[in-house]
Structure 1
Amino acid sequence: MKKILLSVIMITAIVACKEDDTTDTQEINYSKLPQEFPFTTMATINGVGVINGGFGSGAAAHPTRKGEFYVITDRGPNTDYLNGKKFLVPSFSPTIMHFKINAEGNIEVLKYIKLKNPSGQPITGLPNPAGMGSTGEVAYDANGNVLGTDPYGMDSESIVAAADGTFWVSDEYGPHIVHYSADGVEMERISPIGVNTGTRKLPAVLAKRRANRGMEGLCITPDGKTLVGTIQSMMYVPSKSLATNKTLTRIVTFDIATGQTKQFLYQQDGGASDSVCDITALSNTEFLVIERDGNFGSQGGIKKVYRISLSGASDVNGTDLSAANGMQINGKALEQCTWAEIASAGLKPVSKTLAVDLVSKIGYEHDKFEGLVYLGNNKIAVFNDDDFGIVDDGNGNPKAKILPKTGKVDKGTMYVVDIQ
């Protein structure tokens, strides 16, 4: 009997190892891409269908299983209204979708994971209260009635799938970096100094991100030690009226073990209305980042991926991480300085070279190119935020988000693209 049991254990172990090896080395069939994610209608507002979408605000590969991915929504379907947003489905919980490319080359959803507070209750995408990451935005329902706040609310924009099965998520409120369990329960919330959440902190200056322009991208270095986040656009440092360098934004790194941070300057091609979105690692110092504008690809939109390197770039954290305006040059915040002034001070931004222009390469049609995963062998997977299939009609009400080239409602789509 002992011999039989031992044989069974050995066979099981060999099969398990063989399956793991196959998963790691097998070629994934991407030939059927691009493909849309499967969707249902979440709600109908004023006769307009709000799809159960939004997946693509950020993306990450499964840390060990080839061909499996995670994509995340933002705070939920919304439109501009007065001094804030109409939340068309106020109870919506930011959600992670786990999917794979199956043997037939099709997208197969494996699981949906709602983000939850430390007590295990689903959170919402409603703004944080004052002092806990508030951007000053006011939340309204579809009828224009004021809603409350959520101390654990997230405007989630990027996701990291860690080797231990947990997730790190960055957002545009605080800006926060939040550590979630494999089931989506909050374990830790990391915010700028002065924001009353969590014990470990980011530099205070990051709290001067603009509303809806917070930490748009997040990845982890291949050694699993460091989180690397991108601020979407120029921050208002020291204030909206005084920040003048519209092409300057920041990258922040966070050592997971020690909590130590660094900051680096990033020079955008476009201005303050353009976005530095998701980031994915090539090595511990080299990355790919998204730069985009807000136009559809067929309407002159800019959808580019750049290779960047932190090697040789200057750490602009400064000596006082609690300083509200961060490092200064001759009494001026970095956002007040020209690139010539920054260079004269001996500070270098990260280096960057173009990896691919999606519009010229594949005729990319979507406006919100926001999810990016490096697949190896100079291939990337790219994803779009479809805004739940709706946009603002100009009066705070939803209308269908239509792709101008095809005339179809925009839906989250996965592409695989070769890069230089």
Structure 2
Amino acid sequence: MKKLFVSALIVTVAISCSKDDDNSNNQDINYSKLPQEFAFSTMATINGVDVINGGFGSGAAAHPSRKGEFYVITDRGPNTDYLNGKKFLTPNFTPTIMHFKINAEGKVEVIKYIKLKNPSGQPITGLPNPAGMGSTGEVPYDASGNVLGTDKYGLDSESIVAAPDGTFWVSDEYGPHIVHYSAEGVEMERISPVGVNTGTRKLPAVLAKRRANRGMEGLCLTPDGRTLVGTIQSMMYVPTKAAAKNTTLTRIVTFDIMTGQTKQFLYKQDGGASDSVCDITALSNTEFLVIERDGNFGSQGGIKKVYRINISGATEVTGSDMNAVDGMKVNGKALEECTWDELGTAGIKAVSKTLAVDLVAKLGYEHDKFEGIVYLGNNKLAVFNDDDFGVVDDGNGNPKAKILPKTGKVDKGTMYVVDIQ
């Protein structure tokens, strides 16, 4: 069994999106006793560097009915940049959900692990999809630099929704896909952009122009249980990488679970192309909390903020044809080619946003990544980081330990509870 690490108002996990209806009264959940550390086991040792059995920070959700219980999910597994793709340090790694609770002593207690599986019930990998099935063009390599195969059911999972019926919705950065899994982790449906050969229900075709490793980073479910709401991490390359200019523009997509109807809205980031809109959690059917972050450590000028947003006054920008590969256009240009002034003149409004909390200012947040949030009610927010399995790229495609500059310790998955405005 994998072990878990906790520290400070902190847990070794991360979360993605949830309803707050069943978690609004947390007075009997003892979050204040979380400061404790657990040793992670080692998954593998590559070139003398330990790859830890962590990674539970790419996405998370609260249990839909049991207070103090959560689900957290890994991404595609430990990897480093290499040539025209990624080295997968443990190629057989299976993206995994961890179900845990805060017990009566205020400690993290793992309930079970759920490995994601294909429709036949076989464990999937985090390897890229083949062409036509959601490929980003990334070439997979093993730790020695040998080319690996692809996985048609592979997932770079980034977010998780725990549905009231016990099933899970997971979004990823390949397709980008939204995949419906059973309570046991078996794939039931895969929803992808038009043109991706994965199933009958579709997302707008333009979403296939997400950048590699910048797909659907956030996902949540509205409190009425009807609509999935996903966030694209950064500006997409629409119509092409060279033509896309508005580096602060990214998209929010909604999917009606019953009807399959989709909508899109624009989100204006504070930063530019290197910044990320990482997660989203619901406050109401139209109001949400959203992460914005950069890639720097908190003590090195990192930006780690949460905004309250409202989509009710925003313009729906799918247009009349969800099959259009470049999406809706303004003056003959894709939205990513337009300035915000041009979009405003055309009557297009982005979602409204106000700052809810600055984690660096509020907590002295040290981690580089900040990829999971869950609203707990009473203006309290659970926050989780992604520890990247304790490794980062050394600049040559090989792993090195991921060290927090302020403490000199290896980064480990952490959960904070913070008050928001």
Instruction: Look up the equivalent residue of 1:322 and give its one-letter code.
Output: N
Among the aligned pairs, what percent are the same residue? 86
Rounded to whole Å, the distance in 2 between the matches of 1:234 and 1:136 is 18
Rounded to whole Å, the distance in 1 between the matches of 2:409 and 2:354 is 34
1:315 aligns with 2:312: no
SS in 2 for 1:228: strand
1:156 aligns with 2:163: no
**Number of the residue aligned with 1:178:** 179
Name the Cα RMSD after superposition. Answer: 1.3
Rounded to whole Å, the distance in 2 between the matches of 1:85 and 1:37 is 30
**Number of the residue aligned with 2:34:** 33
Rounded to whole Å, the distance in 1 between the matches of 2:341 and 2:34 is 44
Q: Within 5 Å, give how 1:240-319 maps onto structure 2.
A: 240-319=241-320
Q: Quick check: 1:172–1:214 contact (8 Å CA) kept in 2? A: yes
Rounded to whole Å, the distance in 1 between the matches of 2:76 and 2:121 is 18
1:24 Cα deviation (Å)? 7.1
**Number of the residue aligned with 1:345:** 346
**Number of the residue aligned with 2:167:** 166
Q: 1:385 to 1:36 in 2, by over 3 A?
A: farther
Instruction: Look up the equivalent residue of 1:371 and give its one-letter code.
Output: G
TM-score normalised over the length of structure 1:
0.94
**Number of the residue aligned with 1:10:** none
Q: Which runs of no fewer than 5 residues in structure 1 stay unpaired? A: 1-20
**Number of the residue aligned with 1:411:** 412
Kindly provide the CA deviation profile for residues 262-312 of structure 1, in whole angstroms up to 9, marking residues without a partner as x.
000000000010000010000000000000000000000000000000111
1:27 Cα deviation (Å)? 1.2
Q: 1:325 to 1:40 in 2, by over 3 A?
A: same
1:98 Cα deviation (Å)? 0.5
SS in 2 for 1:288: strand
Task: Using CA pairs under 8 Å that are at least 6 residues apart, name the structure with larger relative contact order, 1 or 2.
Answer: 2
Instruction: Look up the equivalent residue of 2:29 and give its one-letter code.
Output: I
SS in 1 for 2:389: helix
Q: 1:376 to 1:386 in 2, by over 3 A?
A: same
Rounded to whole Å, the distance in 2 between the matches of 1:61 and 1:96 is 12
1:33 Cα deviation (Å)? 3.0
1:63 Cα deviation (Å)? 0.2
Rounded to whole Å, the distance in 2 between the matches of 1:107 and 1:52 is 16
**Number of the residue aligned with 2:148:** 147
Q: Quick check: 2:210–2:232 contact (8 Å CA) kept in 1? A: yes
Query: Which has more radius of gyration?
Result: 1
**Number of the residue aligned with 1:18:** none
Q: 1:227 to 1:357 in 2, by over 3 A?
A: same
1:23 Cα deviation (Å)? 12
SS in 1 for 2:124: coil
Kindly provide the CA deviation profile for residues 315-344 of structure 1, in whole angstroms up to 9, marking residues without a partner as x.
001000000000000100000000000000
Rounded to whole Å, the distance in 1 between the matches of 2:420 and 2:129 is 39
Rounded to whole Å, the distance in 2 between the matches of 1:212 and 1:403 is 23
Q: Quick check: 2:24–2:377 contact (8 Å CA) kept in 1? A: no
Instruction: Look up the equivalent residue of 2:208 and give its one-letter code.
Output: A
Q: How many residues are paired up?
A: 400
Instruction: Look up the equivalent residue of 2:181 and give its one-letter code.
Output: Y
Q: 1:37 to 1:184 in 2, by over 3 A?
A: farther
**Number of the residue aligned with 1:42:** 43
Q: Which runs of no fewer than 5 residues in structure 2 stay unpaired? A: 1-21
